[in-house]
Every structure is written in structure tokens, then in C-alpha cells.
Amino acid sequence: MSLNIGDIIFQLFTFLVPIIFIILIVLFVRSTKQRNVQLKRMEEKLDKVSEQNRKR
């Protein structure tokens, strides 16, 4: 019962590709959510500054 190096590399490749794909999707979704939260905070700050300028 001997395993060829090519078979081992192929097995690792076919095992790791879906895992890497799932990790990339999760990272993309998390990044998008964080960006949306940051944009919302920036909008709130801009609204606050804009409101202060109107009062002057």
C-alpha cells in the first residue's frame, strides 16, 4: 500500500480549494459589513457637523 506524491498533492488540493473558497466568502462578507458600519458612522458625523454649521 504505497501512496504516490502526486495523489497526496491532488487530495490536498481538492480538499483545500473548497475550504479556501468558503473562507474568502466569509472574509468578504465581514469586510462588507464593517465597511457599511464605518460609512454609517461617517455619515452621522458629517450630519452632526453640517447641523452645527447651519446653526451658526
Confidence of residue 1 (pLDDT cuts 50, 70, 90): low
User: Is residue 11 domain-resident?
Assistant: no
Total domains, the chain = 1
Q: What integer pLDDT is reported at residue 48 of this predicted model?
A: 95
User: Is residue 54 domain-resident?
Assistant: yes
Q: What is the pLDDT of residues 18-45, one digit of tens each?
A: 999 999 999 999 999 999 999 999 999 9
Q: Which amino acid is at 42?
A: M
Return d(Cα 44, Cα 37) in angstroms, integer: 11
User: Is residue 56 domain-resident?
Assistant: yes
Range of the domain at 40: 25-56
Question: Model-level pTM?
Answer: 0.67
User: Is residue 49 domain-resident?
Assistant: yes
Q: What integer pLDDT is reported at residue 5 of this predicted model?
A: 92
**In sequence order, what DSSP letters do the residues of 1-56 get, joined into one string?**
----HHHHHHHHHHHHHHHHHHHHHHHHHHHHHHHHHHHHHHHHHHHHHHHHHHH-
User: Is residue 19 domain-resident?
Assistant: no
